[in-house]
Amino acid sequence: MRIVIVGPGAMGCLFAGLLAESGQTDVWLLDKTKARADKINENGIIIEGIGGKRNIRIKATSLPDEIKYADLILICVKSYNTSEAVQSIISIVKDNSIILTLQNGLTNIDVISKTLYKGRIIAGVTSHGATMLGVGHIRHAGSGDTVIGKISPDILDQEVNQIADVFRSAGLVVSVTNDIYNFIWGKLIINASINPITAITKLKNGELLNYKETRELLKLVAEESAKIAIALGIILPYNDPILAVESVCKITSENRSSMLQDILNDKQTEIDSINGAIVEKGKELNIDTPINKVLTYLIKIMELL
């Protein structure tokens, strides 16, 4: 199986590294920047943290034509780069290629579907955490489950199970679901609650539980976001959104959220596809979402400063 990971960020490098390290797949990393791809191709991917520090050789390129084709393509770019990433892989997508998005947010499936046939798209969520330390160099800061599921019945169950088995061979804990949107919303609510508050306060995930004000904010966002999910007919993968958010804060207590890292590094955040997407769904349902709206506006202002 030829696997192409699009995007050399923390999660892209983590999955590329683990899959290449397993030695059971033909793994490529596609990067839009030639100099960065050349450096990764020369030096490999360095993973430290969970599993210890090691250097993993991998094929990296900025030229899709060099890859020729792909059986499985993992989209691991930021949500605002999804359209550009999908355009870059058109030449390597064949009739039997499967596209898997493991991205944050709610908008990625629709963006991918506008360019590529929706029947060959799988979506997933993962609880793994990773931090960029340099080009092709990451710290694997937290492990967890990965859940994947097909978007269209055109993909056979055995194809999804084969992908899950390939991931398992790389040491990943993977399960398959027929209700992936429930899990996407489950993670969306957690991200919407934790990420913007950490970005605004500069607190680590666990530190949000140390102050009554941030705990109350977590509660308000989780409740408001879950209200939208339930109105859409989503069955969340947990019974209590507030407890789920607080649990993730504890499990990832030392993590700096990706949105906080983006703000600290003067980068664009994924606020539009997380809290902003909840606001848009609220508008469609005629349900006001003042907490998500305020957080979206605050983060967008911070991006400009």
> What amino acid positions are annotated as catalytic residues?
187
Residue with tokens 């030639």: 34
94: domain CATH number is: 3.40.50.720
What is the pLDDT averaged over residues 22-50?
Answer: 93
Range of the domain at 122: 2-178
The answer on 69 and 108 residing in a single domain is yes
The answer on 193 and 161 residing in a single domain is no
Q: Which of 178, 195, 222 is the last residue of a domain?
A: 178
Look at the alpha carbons of 9, 11, 16, 17 in this order and tell me if their dihedral is positive or negative: positive
Partner residues linked to 74 by β-bridges: 5, 100
The answer on 126 and 44 residing in a single domain is yes
**Confidence check: pLDDT of 23 > 90:** no
Running DSSP on this structure, what letter comes out for residue 107?
A: S
Integer Cα distance of 112 and 247 in angstroms: 32
**pLDDT value for 236:** 97
Express each pLDDT in 89-140 by its tens digit: 999 999 889 999 999 999 999 999 988 866 689 999 998 888 889 999 999 9
Identify residue 7 by its one-letter amino acid code: G
196: domain CATH number is: 1.10.1040.10
What is the pLDDT averaged over residues 135-155?
Answer: 89
Express each pLDDT in 215-248 by its tens digit: 999 999 999 999 999 999 999 999 999 999 999 9
Q: Which of 128, 149, 178 is the last residue of a domain?
A: 178
Express each pLDDT in 263-302 by its tens digit: 999 999 999 999 999 999 999 999 999 999 999 999 999 9
Integer Cα distance of 202 and 256 in angstroms: 8
The answer on 191 and 169 residing in a single domain is no
Domain tally, the chain: 2
**pLDDT value for 118:** 64
Please give the mean pLDDT across all residues of the chain.
94
pLDDT greater at residue 142 or residue 70? 70
The answer on 190 and 168 residing in a single domain is no
Angle between helix axes 275-285 and 180-201 (nearest 10 degrees) is: 120
Running DSSP on this structure, what letter comes out for residue 238?
A: S
pLDDT category, 204, cuts 50, 70, 90? very high
Residue with tokens 């892989």: 89
Express each pLDDT in 154-181 by its tens digit: 888 999 999 999 999 999 999 999 999 9
The answer on 116 and 90 residing in a single domain is yes
Integer Cα distance of 104 and 17 in angstroms: 20
The answer on 160 and 211 residing in a single domain is no
The answer on 202 and 153 residing in a single domain is no
**Three-state SS for 94?**
strand
The answer on 277 and 202 residing in a single domain is yes
The answer on 145 and 260 residing in a single domain is no
What is the pLDDT averaged over residues 23-28?
Answer: 87
Angle between helix axes 241-251 and 212-231 (nearest 10 degrees) is: 130
Integer Cα distance of 30 and 40 in angstroms: 10
Q: Which of 118, 153, 178 is the last residue of a domain?
A: 178
The answer on 274 and 214 residing in a single domain is yes
Q: What are phi and psi of 203, to 5 degrees?
A: -90, 150
Integer Cα distance of 290 and 282 in angstroms: 10
The answer on 9 and 148 residing in a single domain is yes
